[in-house]
Amino acid sequence: MGNVHELNYLKEKIEDLKKEGTYRKLPVLEGANQAEILLNGRKVINLSSNNYLGFANHPRLKKAAIEAVEKYGVGSGAVRTIVGNMSIHEELERVLSEFKKEEAAFIYQSGFNCNAGTIQAITEAGDLIISDELNHASIIDGTRLSRADKKIFKHSDMDELEQILKENRDKYRNMLIITDGVFSMDGDIAKLPEIVELAEKYEAMTYVDDAHGSGVLGENGRGTVDHFGLHGRVDFTIGTLSKAIGVVGGYVAGSNTMYEWLNHRARPVLFSTSLPPAAVGAIIEAIKMLKESSEYTEKVWNNARYFKEKLGKLGFNTGKSETPITPVIIGDEAKSMEFSKNLLDRGVFVSAIVFPTVPRGTGRVRCMITAEHTEEQLDRAVEIFRQVGEEMNILG
């Protein structure tokens, strides 16, 4: 019996990680997250961020953040329900609801706690949550926090979804279908028109987590619901303010009734301090920029098409992506890790994604293309992919 405070049970688990080769150190970024970064002391092309539009270090957002700090300070000082609800938070919700063409938008401190807080608040015992098997971890956690029952359908399998809806319609009061709008590991888009039709047929509610779609898909980045012209037919649309928008935070857009209820029952809003003014000011500016011009969204799509086409021509397998998320599928886990390491040695940072994040045997590196990448940077990255691909014998 050792001393319990030495945390030996954790030390043993950490040793296990080292034995199975999954122990890692975090990469360290020296400076802003942009198209080329200083990583562990070296300048490399960054193909790993969610900073789709290049807003994370944009001068207009920085200026807006500083102005918000001058006016409101660095912290909001309390949870929103006490005295942390500033006029700038209310302004952001107005701006977001207008941008998303919904009655209301309710903001959270992150996309993660938006899912954790919303799902729990809008469901209860006697309800059924029906969730795509590839939904994000924060949806899984939100579902675990809910007292509702849950069923999982195979990824984008509309027959199985209908089967579940049909079998359970009479057993539950409310059914809630939850899906990612864009799936982050493959870059495919949810079959939203079919999901909405099934939901209407069986009187279920719909909940779309559009973390990777907002700021990317639809008119000026209005998201997956806009992309499919489904305004008014999705009950809850989640967006992050930390990916394309470049800052931090999350929100759910929907009806006034939704807003009123979350205002009273969303636990991250009742029990956690609201977003800092700098973040809120920068986000308001980002939404303004998206409304003003489609140049940012057009640029990210053009860059993604350019990059995908070049990789495809070389014989890389870029999977079934329909968005700027560009997986390069290698298969073998160890080989995927080695590919990523060799790319980094040559000057391209792109993370390997392997089991359990994706199914066994579908290891990959995932390239995240942004509006900020120049053609020269993309060409340089493609050339490095070619060299390493040839050396490792993974070109088709």
Ligand X SMILES: *Cc1c(COP(=O)(O)O)cnc(C)c1O
Name residues contacting ligand X, limited to 210-239 (CB under 6 A).
Answer: 211-212
Q: Nearest distance from residue 394's CB to ligand X, in Å?
A: 27
Q: Which of 58, 80, 100, 136 binds ligand X (CB under 6 A)?
A: 136
The order of strands in the sheet holding 325-331 is 325-331, 363-368, 352-353
Pick out residues in 139-158 that bind ligand X (CB under 6 A).
Answer: none
- Annotation marks residue 184 as catalytic: yes
Q: Strand 250-254 and strand 236-240: pairing? A: antiparallel
Query: Does residue 250 belong to the site contacting ligand X (CB under 6 A)?
Result: yes
Q: Could you tell me which of 96, 100, 98, 135 has the C-alpha nearest to residue 119?
A: 135
Q: What are residue 237's phi and psi, to 5 degrees?
A: -120, 120
Q: Which of 118, 179, 184, 362 binds ligand X (CB under 6 A)?
A: 184
Which residue's CB is nearer to ligand X, number 155 or number 310? 155
Of residues 349 through 388, those in contact with ligand X by CB under 6 A are none
Residue closest to 178 by CA, chosen among 111, 132, 222, 231:
132
The least distance separating ligand X from the CB of residue 240, rounded to whole angstroms, comes to 4
Contact flags string 2-31 toward ligand X, x per CB under 6 A: ------------------------------
Q: How far is the CB of 173 from ligand X (least distance, A)?
A: 26
Which residue's CB is nearer to ligand X, number 212 or number 308? Answer: 212
Q: How many residues bind ligand X (CB under 6 A)?
A: 14
For 45, half-sphere exposure in the C-beta direction (CA atoms, 13 angstrom radius) is 24
Which residues are CB-neighbours of 257 under 8 A, at least 6 positions away? none
Please indicate whether residue 243 is annotated as part of the active site. Answer: yes
Q: Of the two residues 278 and 394, which places its CB atom closer to ligand X in the complex?
A: 278
Give the active site residue among 243, 299, 308, 373.
243
The residue from 76, 138, 184, 340 that is catalytic is 184
Reported residue count of the chain is 396
Of the residues 100, 136, 212, 373, only one is catalytic, namely: 212
212 counts as catalytic: yes
Residues in CB range of 305: below 8 A, 6 or more apart: none
Q: Which of 52, 106, 112, 316 binds ligand X (CB under 6 A)?
A: 112
Stretch that binds ligand X, among 13-21, 106-114, 287-295, 332-340 (CB under 6 A): 106-114
> Which of residues 132, 186, 209, 285 is near ligand X by CB under 6 A?
209
Q: Give 352 or 394: the residue with its C-beta nearer to ligand X.
A: 352
Q: Is 110 in the site for ligand X (CB under 6 A)?
A: yes
Closest CB 237 distance from ligand X, rounded Å: 12
Which span (69-77, 111-119, 290-298, 365-373) binds ligand X, by CB under 6 A? 111-119
Q: Based on CB atoms, which residue is closest to ligand X, 165 or 211?
A: 211
| Cis bond before residue 27 (omega within 30° of 0) | no
Task: Note whether 48 binds ligand X by CB under 6 A.
Answer: no
245 binds ligand X (CB under 6 A): no
The reply on whether position 180 binds ligand X by CB under 6 A is: yes
* 127 lies in the site for ligand X, by CB under 6 A: no
- The closest residue (CB) to ligand X is 111
Residue number, 366 or 385, with CB nearest to ligand X: 366
CB of 283 to ligand X, least distance (A): 12
Could you give the residue numbers annotated as active site?
184, 212, 243
Binding site for ligand X (CB under 6 A): 110-112, 115, 136, 138, 180, 184, 209, 211-212, 240, 242, 250
